[in-house]
Amino acid sequence: MNQQDKAYLLGLLAQTHDAIRLMLEDIDLELPVYSDSGWRIRDILAHIATWDHQAASSLKAYRVGQEYSTPGLDESKFNEQSVLEQRDKTGQQIFDEWVQARREFKRAVEEMPRDLFPGDLLYPWGDERGTIAYLVEMMTDHDIEHRDEIMKTIVIGSS
Residue pair 49/101 in contact by the 8 Å Cβ criterion: yes
Range of the domain at 149: 3-158
First to last CA, the chain: 46
Q: Distance between CA atoms of 105 and 58, rounded to whole angstroms?
A: 10
Average the pLDDT over 41-57 and give the result: 96
pLDDT higher than threshold 90 for residue 144:
yes
**Mean pLDDT estimate for the chain:** 92
The total domain count for the chain is 1
Q: Distance between CA atoms of 106 and 56, rounded to whole angstroms?
A: 8
Distance of CA 111 to the CA centre of its chain: 18
Label residues 28-53 b or e (16+ Cβ within 10 Å = b). ebeeebeeeeebbbbbbbbbbbbbbb
Distance of CA 104 to the CA centre of its chain: 10
**Which of 21-25, 61-65, 75-79, 122-126 is predicted with the least confidence, judged by mean pLDDT?**
75-79
Average the pLDDT over 65-81 and give the result: 85
Output the domain CATH number for residue 148: 1.20.120.450
Q: What would the pLDDT profile of 9-43 be if each residue is shown by its tens digit?
A: 999 999 999 999 999 999 999 999 998 888 999 99
Confidence category of residue 54, pLDDT binned at 50, 70, 90: very high
The predicted model scores a pTM of: 0.93
pLDDT higher than threshold 70 for residue 157:
no
pLDDT for residue 19:
96
pLDDT higher than threshold 90 for residue 71:
no
Q: Distance between CA atoms of 73 and 131, rounded to whole angstroms?
A: 21
If one counts every other C-beta atom within 10 angstroms of the C-beta of residue 157, the result is 12
Confidence category of residue 74, pLDDT binned at 50, 70, 90: confident
Between the ranges 64-73, 80-89, 100-109, where is the mean pLDDT highest?
100-109
